[in-house]
Amino acid sequence: MTTLRLRDYGIVLAVAVLVVALSLSTDTFLTTGNLVNLLDQAVVVGLLACGMTLCVICGVFDLSAGAVLAVSAIVAVIVTERAGVPAGYAAAVVTGGLLGTLNGVVVVLSRVHSFIATLALGIVHRGLALVITGGAIVYPGPERLAAFQSLSWPTVLGGVTASSLLLLVVAVAATVLLSRTTFGRRVYAVGGNPTAAWLSGIGVGGIRVAVFAVSGVCAALAGLVLAARGGSAQADMGTLLELTAIAAAVIGGTSILGGQGAVWRGMVGVLILTLIGNGFNLLGWNSTYRPIVEGLLILTAVSTDYALRHRRD
């Protein structure tokens, strides 16, 4: 019980400490504008972290998510130019789902560790993005640009953007999928002990393909948000963002060894990383030191997970 409390409430306490510290050290942190901006900054990594959390819990890694993001965004722009914004958005989601499914099938059939397989596939997908664009930046036509950027528009909820609401919807859906369905229980089982899961009749390969597909859809949505913000797409979009998403999941308390975690943990991890970045900006600190702080956080989270697992065993 003590171990569970430490895992559950330690990260919440860390967020509370950061919020209090920033509130006391700057007059601008608690302003509406900054809080809306804080939410907006968390969207892209948050969407990636939703899919990545499912992968990590299932015992696999998706290092191709950033490249899937780029390909999906490029497809969205190209299809939007030819068939309109709804078709472009739908094409991006379908592309992400197909590429994610392809990743899962390759990992399952090749039996190569997902870390290496998706690293290689990420290079392939990034190359595909270069082939499609010819290395150029692609834009929707002027007559469709405004509608294409609708995900970046503020809503009536105090200026909160549509993309922030999208993150909320995706996070809730991923939470329900993971915690309230048979599929979610199987994801935990496969990540905790794939051999035992297989012996109990669970299709381990199918579950792994499914979580990669979910990760691909989440990457596509993140790509739509980035493309909507800039009004364009290019092959180098989202580079290394998959590592930030994995870091968020781990910092939030999802076990890097699989079988334990939750979507809300990933969201807390995203919030911690976003608060650190926001704090550096508000306090005028040299952002050169930000990766050092984030790296130490990741190391601490992994070390804590390892220690808690061995204490429980």
Our CA dihedral for 38, 266, 149, 90, rounded to 10 degrees, sits at -170
What pTM, to 2 d.p., does this model score?
0.93
- Span of 74-88, 205-219, 238-252, 279-293 with lowest mean pLDDT: 279-293
Confidence of residue 185 (pLDDT cuts 50, 70, 90): very high
Summarize the confidence of residues 111-138 as an average pLDDT: 95
- Rounded distance between C-alpha atoms, residue 94 and residue 3, angstroms: 41
Domain CATH for 10: 1.10.3470
Summarised one tens digit per residue, pLDDT across range 92-119 is: 999 999 999 999 999 999 999 999 999 9
pLDDT at 5 over 60: no
Which residue type sits at 304? T
* Predicted pLDDT of residue 309: 60
pLDDT at 281 over 90: no
- Span of 67-81, 100-114, 139-153, 193-207 with lowest mean pLDDT: 139-153
Under 8 Å between Cβ of 308 and 3: yes
Task: Give the residue from 64, 50, 77, 51 showing the smallest Cα distance to 124.
Answer: 64
Structural domain for 303, as ranges: 2-312
- What share of the chain has pLDDT > 90, as a percent? 67
pLDDT at 245 over 70: yes
Domain count of the fold of the chain: 1
Contacts of 267 (CB under 8 A, 6+ apart): 46, 49, 50, 171, 252
- The tokens of 175 are what? 């939470």
**∠ CA 191-194-199, rounded to 5°:** 140
* Predicted pLDDT of residue 162: 92
* Predicted pLDDT of residue 6: 55
* Predicted pLDDT of residue 1: 46
- What share of the chain has pLDDT > 70, as a percent? 94
295: helix, strand or coil: helix
Confidence of residue 283 (pLDDT cuts 50, 70, 90): confident
* Predicted pLDDT of residue 134: 93
* Predicted pLDDT of residue 155: 81
- Rounded distance between C-alpha atoms, residue 111 and residue 199, angstroms: 18
* Predicted pLDDT of residue 2: 47
pLDDT at 312 over 60: no
HSE at residue 127, side-chain half, CA atoms within 13 A, is 6
Task: Give the residue from 279, 292, 293 showing the smallest Cα distance to 37.
Answer: 279
Summarised one tens digit per residue, pLDDT across range 192-239 is: 999 999 999 999 999 999 999 999 999 999 999 999 999 999 999 999
Summarised one tens digit per residue, pLDDT across range 14-57 is: 888 889 989 998 888 888 889 999 999 999 999 999 999 999 99
